[in-house]
Amino acid sequence: MSVEPHGSALSRVGVVGGGQLARLLGEADRPGISLTVLAGADEPAVATCDEVVVGDARDETALRTLAERVDVITFDHELVDLDQLARLEDEGVLLRPGPGALRAAVDKSFQRQLFAGAGLPLPRFVVVDSPHDARLTEFLDRVDTTPVVKAARGGYDGRGVVFTTGRDDARAAVERLGGDVVVEEHLALRGEVAQLLVRGADGQVVTYPLVTTVQRDGQCAEVRYPCDTGHEVEAAALAARVAELIGAVGVLAVEFFVTDAGLLINEVALRPHNTGHWTIEGARTSQFTNHLAAATGRPLGPTTPTAAHVVMVNVVGGAEPPPPDWSRPRHHGDVAVHDYAKTWRPGRKLGHVTAWGDDATSTRVRAWREARAAGTAGGEDA
């Protein structure tokens, strides 16, 4: 599905960050939209975007250069300086999402406190900046002696997340991570799900179907549509509340823990998200096309799935480098392999595979077969 150019729509988009998401944005169906990426000269998105401003996401001079060349700026990661962005916004630079919304994704402690204040369902938590904080003792007494300790900023793919073994370990983790940390109860999970929605600058919202996500070593390993835990209505309603609360523009991904008591919000991202990569082939409009539509003021495209079952598996480097032809699918027609053109390293995300079809089991088997051929561990049950 392509999003039609619109009368007053903007056409020159700047992307802060040149990682995989910006690379996939560059590959997206985006008629009439040019992309200029603010990135290092050898970052992945340089290959797929139209122009590059070489620089760092937190270099204000580079941000200003980008702003001069484009109509609107969006983001492929959260490692930004919100004060710089607020200054640019004050000067009239159009940022979508804006720094006010981004703060909820950049700073986990802010996010948790904002959401708690709004009555959204969360794990029980406390925010502290010192292992000696009396509130930490009170939390450990009351809630959980083996909590999960999370850095408020800069964590992704499980980095900055510590599963502690006891009170002393929890205190040591708070000390080690430094700054504001979120200490939360260690939940017995029934599963995890992710809700993607896209919100236009005019407040129009489209919602993708809920998906099941499977984590391995703190990293997303697999995403499945349809979701097998239920909770579709609840997840869409909670994500819509979050989007309104923070004033999101573009993709909002909400990751949920599924517990016996229902859904609890784990975290949110305000950019195209790994749990939405399945939409490239699996939905009538991909998350990338819709993110750009929202940023540029175009109407959002339909999010209907293109098949009864869609499975996305991340290709993660195994013990050996993958064979040179790994990204050429062995099976044609209903599987797509995306190669991020990255050098192999064990544990590194090298790409992703999406398979689709009428049958749940064979769709999973096809996706995992391609990922395993590239050295990805897991999926033995597929």
**Site map 231..270 versus ligand ADP, x via CB under 6 A:** ------------------------x----------xx---
Q: How far is the CB of 101 from ligand ADP (least distance, A)?
A: 18
Q: How far is the CB of 368 from ligand ADP (least distance, A)?
A: 19
Residues in 62-101 at the binding interface with ligand ADP, rule: CB under 6 A: none
Residues in 267-306 at the binding interface with ligand ADP, rule: CB under 6 A: 267
**Site map 111..130 versus ligand ADP, x via CB under 6 A:** ------------x-------
Can you read off the two tokens belonging to residue 228?
């097998």
Residues in 161-190 at the binding interface with ligand ADP, rule: CB under 6 A: 161, 184, 186-187, 189
Could you give the CA distance from residue 78 to residue 156 in angstroms, rounded to a whole number? 10
Residues in 185-214 at the binding interface with ligand ADP, rule: CB under 6 A: 186-187, 189, 192
Work out whether 144 is an interface residue with ligand ADP (CB under 6 A).
Answer: no
Q: How far is the CB of 126 from ligand ADP (least distance, A)?
A: 13
Stretch that binds ligand ADP, among 111-119, 157-165, 172-180, 232-240 (CB under 6 A): 157-165
Q: How far is the CB of 246 from ligand ADP (least distance, A)?
A: 17
Other C-beta atoms within 10 Å of 103: how many? Answer: 20
Q: Which of 27, 56, 81, 157 binds ligand ADP (CB under 6 A)?
A: 157
Q: How far is the CB of 276 from ligand ADP (least distance, A)?
A: 14
209 CB burial (10 A radius; 0-12, 13-18, 19+): buried
Let me know: does 194 contact 242? Beta carbons within 8 Å: no
Work out whether 34 is an interface residue with ligand ADP (CB under 6 A).
Answer: no
Q: How far is the CB of 109 from ligand ADP (least distance, A)?
A: 13
Q: Is the peptide bond before 121 cis (omega within 30 degrees of 0)?
A: no
Stretch that binds ligand ADP, among 153-161, 168-176, 221-229, 351-359 (CB under 6 A): 153-161
- Residue among 304, 338, 298, 305 at smallest CA distance from 31: 298
Residues in 309-368 at the binding interface with ligand ADP, rule: CB under 6 A: none
- Name the one residue in this structure whose structure tokens are 């940023």: 295
Question: CA separation (Å) from 10 to 34, 85, 296?
Answer: 10, 20, 5
Could you give the CA distance from residue 381 to residue 192 in angstroms, rounded to a whole number? 18
Contacts for 93-101 with beta carbons within 8 Å, 24 or more apart? 93/67, 94/10, 96/72, 96/201, 96/249, 96/250, 96/294, 96/295, 97/247, 97/248, 97/249, 97/250, 97/270, 98/247, 98/249, 100/246, 100/247, 101/246, 101/247, 101/248, 101/249, 101/270
| Eight-state DSSP code of residue 45 | G
Let me know: does 5 contact 22? Beta carbons within 8 Å: no
Q: Which is nearer to ligand ADP, 34 or 146 (CB)?
A: 146
Could you give the CA distance from residue 249 to residue 337 in angstroms, rounded to a whole number? 29
Q: Which of 27, 32, 146, 156 binds ligand ADP (CB under 6 A)?
A: 156
Q: How far is the CB of 60 from ligand ADP (least distance, A)?
A: 27
Q: Which of 100, 158, 191, 226 binds ligand ADP (CB under 6 A)?
A: 158
Q: How far apart are the first and last CA of the chain?
A: 30
Question: CA separation (Å) from 325 to 174, 207, 243, 339, 367?
Answer: 44, 36, 41, 10, 16
Stretch that binds ligand ADP, among 49-57, 81-89, 150-158, 275-283 (CB under 6 A): 150-158
Q: How far is the CB of 219 from ligand ADP (least distance, A)?
A: 8
Stretch that binds ligand ADP, among 84-92, 151-159, 238-246, 355-363 (CB under 6 A): 151-159
- Residue among 268, 265, 241 at smallest CA distance from 253: 268
Residues that bind ligand ADP (CB under 6 A): 123, 148, 150, 155-159, 161, 184, 186-187, 189, 192, 215, 218, 255, 266-267
